[in-house]
């Protein structure tokens, strides 16, 4: 670390007033006392995703401490994040917030939230740290260009950041402008010589227009397997029926890993659901056979922890009359019910953003970044962190963990 007199005239510009931007700015200011740090935000809102994450509670991270397991939750960027997480991981995140007065708790699905169950806890923490460290915030400042001003006698040339309002001179720039589905938001990055990987929506729900299952909106199955026909993409977990189709953790995680396939198919695909979890039709047929001596109505005997109304829907889909008891079930109907339970088919036509928490696959090409420092390999003193990179995680706190970790490494490196 440079001494105070060397840092006093230094200036770091952070582009983006989101999770990664704030974390980078705060850590840069703390690690390098005396340095001037400025956050430039193109809108008039700060920490927008932090505010809405987890239904307003802020899903800070995930209770996943083993790095080799942690990186499995990133459809893109898992290899690169290994060395990032070796520098700043989930344990470090928990400790960082605890040191600043925010304790985190773990829920049964391993998501971690502030004890207060409010995103305002995180926002208040960040705003306090910004004020404490004299970090300047400039709103409505859209960055148009980042220009290198080389001088033959200078080993570390300054960068000029041009916005819609003015120009700033910086010794280093940390770009944390977030993930976007509009290529125009990456124009200023492309002007630096960086390439942007194709922007594709990730983390979305499945639309089933015209399908009667939507009448069961609000029902959920805690252990179902959802897969895309004719692909290897599948995920097991909770599935929620909504007024537009299918949602829930299993669907959202599937959307992240199958993002490219869904995009290539224009979001028209055959979705297969195993409502039993991971049982095959032969095993389910065998288990259903054991019920064939019972006199109770099939429609009134939901199995596999399937909600009663959904069970009735599936029984009807198997063409079994409501007044049919188990002891009158034909082998043909039994096999059809087993097929519906394990290989239920739905025609996906379109997608819906998961609440307001859109995530984009694509961004700054990872080959152009040194992940030991998060510095650009193309423009010295330009650093990247967060979702502006071609890195995205599944739902559950993984995108924020990417933000904290890459921002910390960038802040350490400037």
The model's pLDDT over 178-195, given as tens digits with 9 standing for 90+, comes to: 988 788 999 999 999 999
CA distance 59 to 78: 20
Half-sphere exposure of 192 (CA within 13 A, CB side): 30
Which structural domains are found in the chain, ordered by start? 4-200+358-413 (3.50.50.60), 204-353 (2.40.30.10)
Tens of each residue's pLDDT in the chain, 414 residues: 455 445 567 999 999 999 999 999 999 999 999 999 999 999 999 999 999 998 999 999 999 999 999 999 999 999 999 999 999 999 999 999 999 999 999 999 999 999 999 999 999 999 999 999 999 999 999 999 999 976 655 566 799 999 999 999 999 999 999 988 788 999 999 999 999 999 998 989 999 999 999 999 999 999 999 999 999 999 999 999 999 999 999 999 999 999 999 999 999 999 999 999 999 999 999 999 999 999 999 999 999 999 999 999 999 999 999 999 999 999 999 999 999 999 999 999 999 976 555 678 999 999 999 999 999 999 999 999 999 999 999 989 999 999 999 999 999 999
pLDDT in tens, 199-234: 998 989 999 999 999 999 999 999 999 999 999 999
């Amino acid at each position: 670390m440079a001494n105070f007199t060397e840092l006093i005239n230094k200036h770091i510009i952070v582009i983006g007033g989101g999770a990664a931007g704030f974390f980078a700015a705060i850590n840069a200011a703390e690690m390098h006392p005396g340095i001037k740090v400025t956050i430039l935000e193109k809108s008039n809102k700060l920490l927008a995703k932090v505010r809405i994450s987890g239904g307003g509670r802020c899903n800070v991270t995930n209770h996943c401490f083993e790095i080799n397991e942690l990186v499995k939750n990133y459809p893109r960027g898992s290899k690169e994040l290994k060395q990032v997480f070796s520098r700043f991981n989930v344990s470090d995140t928990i400790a960082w917030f605890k040191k600043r007065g925010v304790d985190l708790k773990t829920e049964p699905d391993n998501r971690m939230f502030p004890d207060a169950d409010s995103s305002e806890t995180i926002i208040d923490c960040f705003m306090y740290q910004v004020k404490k460290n004299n970090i300047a915030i400039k709103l409505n400042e859209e960055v148009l260009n980042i220009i290198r001003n080389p001088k033959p006698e200078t080993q570390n040339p300054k960068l000029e950041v041009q916005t819609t309002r003015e120009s700033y001179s910086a010794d280093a720039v940390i770009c944390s402008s977030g993930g976007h589905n509009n290529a125009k938001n990456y124009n200023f990055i492309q002007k630096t010589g960086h390439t942007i990987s194709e922007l594709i929506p990730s983390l979305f729900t499945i639309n089933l227009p015209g399908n009667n299952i939507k009448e069961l909106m609000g029902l959920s199955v805690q252990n179902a397997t959802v897969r895309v026909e004719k692909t290897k993409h599948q995920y097991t977990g909770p599935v929620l029926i909504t007024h537009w189709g299918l949602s829930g953790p299993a669907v959202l995680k599937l959307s992240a890993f199958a993002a490219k396939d869904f995009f290539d198919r224009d979001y028209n695909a055959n979705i297969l659901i195993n409502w039993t979890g991971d049982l095959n039709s032969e095993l389910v047929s065998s288990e259903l056979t054991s019920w064939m001596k019972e006199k109770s109505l099939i429609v009134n005997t939901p199995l596999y922890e399937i909600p009663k109304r959904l069970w009735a829907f599936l029984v009807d889909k198997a063409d079994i009359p409501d007044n049919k008891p188990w002891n009158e079930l034909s082998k043909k109907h039994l096999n059809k019910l087993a097929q519906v339970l394990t290989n239920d088919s739905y025609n996906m036509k379109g997608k819906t953003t998961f609440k307001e928490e859109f995530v984009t696959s694509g961004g700054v090409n990872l080959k152009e970044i040194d992940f030991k420092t998060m510095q650009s390999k193309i423009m010295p003193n330009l650093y990247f962190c967060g979702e502006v990179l071609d890195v995205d995680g599944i739902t559950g706190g993984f995108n924020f963990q990417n933000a904290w970790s890459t921002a910390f490494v960038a802040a350490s490196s400037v």
